[in-house]
Amino acid sequence: MALLRSDRIISGLRRRFGVAAPKLSVRTHWSWKVKATVSAIAAAILFGLFYGGFDAGRIFAGFNVGKVEEERKKMLEELVQLRSENAEFKKNQIELTNSAQMAVGAKDVMAKQLVSLQQENTQLKEETAFFEKLIGSAGGKNGLAVQRLQAERETADTYRFRALVVQGSADAAFKGRMLITATLVNDNKRITVNLPDDQPDLTQTLALDFKTYQRVEGMIKVPAGAQLKALQVRVLQAGVKEARAQQSLQL
């Protein structure tokens, strides 16, 4: 029994280590760090080859990334320049528009001033001719007269009045004042306004101090919507109660 076991052991050793035993292979052991490094290098090389081949293929097919990028930068620069020129153009356009508007406004103002000056010049010529004719005569009783009495509505509660007081041949200046009585109708009621008593702010306006003539112009305050129907003007010399001249106007 023991011999049988010995034969089996010897037979097994021959199969394992004898001539008919399988060949042994010796392998080098690699750590995981070395394997990871080698794998990374291989992957990088493969990626480089792939990208280079891909880029070369695009160049071969007529698609150059560098040239496209250069064109893109050039287009961006042109876009920035165009935007800058557009902004400058808009700025100049705004300045020109403002200048044109100012020029038109100045032209309108000058045109209005010209019309006003022409009207004033015409009025002065008429008044000069009137004075030459009027001063050559006595100009009324005691050489004093009220001429060109006018009144017109200015606003809903005001009327503007104008008058010209003229003195004929006289060596001394006339000093006095003008009294005005305005007759109004408001809600079918007659109202009388005496100036400057009812409107003290007109005291200075109605004061007279001249040698040849004096224009008198002012505003009469009335109730809103009231209608001016008549205006009576009297000229009093300083220290004298009797009127030296008077004039009436019916509206």
Q: Which of 142, 132, 124, 184 lies closest to 159 in space, CA to CA?
A: 184
- Judge contact between 165 and 245, C-beta under 8 A: yes
The residue among 16 and 126 whose pLDDT is bigger is: 126
Does residue 233 register a pLDDT over 80? yes
Spatial separation of the C-alpha atoms in residues 77 and 87, rounded to whole Å: 15
- Of 14-23, 111-120, 164-173, the one with minimum mean pLDDT is 14-23
Average model confidence (pLDDT) for the chain? 79
pLDDT at 222: 92
pLDDT at 192: 93
Does residue 30 register a pLDDT over 80? no
Cα 240-246-247 angle, rounded to 5 deg: 165
Cis peptide before 196 (omega within 30 of 0): yes
CATH of the domain spanning 141-250, picked from 3.40.190.10, 2.60.40.10, 2.40.30.170, 3.30.420.40: 2.60.40.10
Kindly write down the DSSP assignment for every residue of 68-127, as one continuous string.
Answer: HHHHHHHHHHHHHHHHHHHHHHHHHHHHHHHHHHHHHHHHHHHHHHHHHHHHHHHHHHHH
Cα 142-145-148 angle, rounded to 5 deg: 170
Spatial separation of the C-alpha atoms in residues 232 and 243, rounded to whole Å: 12
Q: What would the two tokens of residue 198 be?
A: 């009812």
By CB atoms closer than 10 A (0-12, 13-18, 19+), residue 146 is buried
Q: What would the two tokens of residue 51 be?
A: 């990208």
Cα 232-237-238 angle, rounded to 5 deg: 125
The pLDDT tens digits for 45-80 are 776 666 555 555 555 555 566 677 788 888 888 888
**In the chain, what are the domain boundaries?**
55-136, 141-250
Q: Which of 196, 248, 178, 188 lies closest to 223 in space, CA to CA?
A: 188
Does residue 36 register a pLDDT over 80? no
